[in-house]
Structure 1
């Protein structure tokens, strides 16, 4: 198992989960990739690839 050091690591994992039919997990990984992406437009593009509502709790 690899490490998750870069946004692209999370994005790769999100794509893998989407391919395996795990859309909720894919969305969560995509949100983490977007959070770690400094460019707001690129972050929005990442999230657009994985539609759905967030599963994060707002504390």
Structure 2
């Protein structure tokens, strides 16, 4: 039983590190626009290569 007492501080440190990382991402704005990335793929404004004008042709 006494062999497992080192696991308590390790779990507290890992939990605190996870909380700090989560709060850091919250403050950094990682979760501000969750729908934007999902919708951005649907509205792609790129022109396909075959439809682009050739700059070498007059």
User: TM-score under structure 1 normalisation?
Assistant: 0.29
User: TM-score under structure 2 normalisation?
Assistant: 0.30
Which structure has more RCO (C-alpha within 8 Å, separation ≥ 6)?
1
Structure with the greater alpha carbon radius of gyration = 2
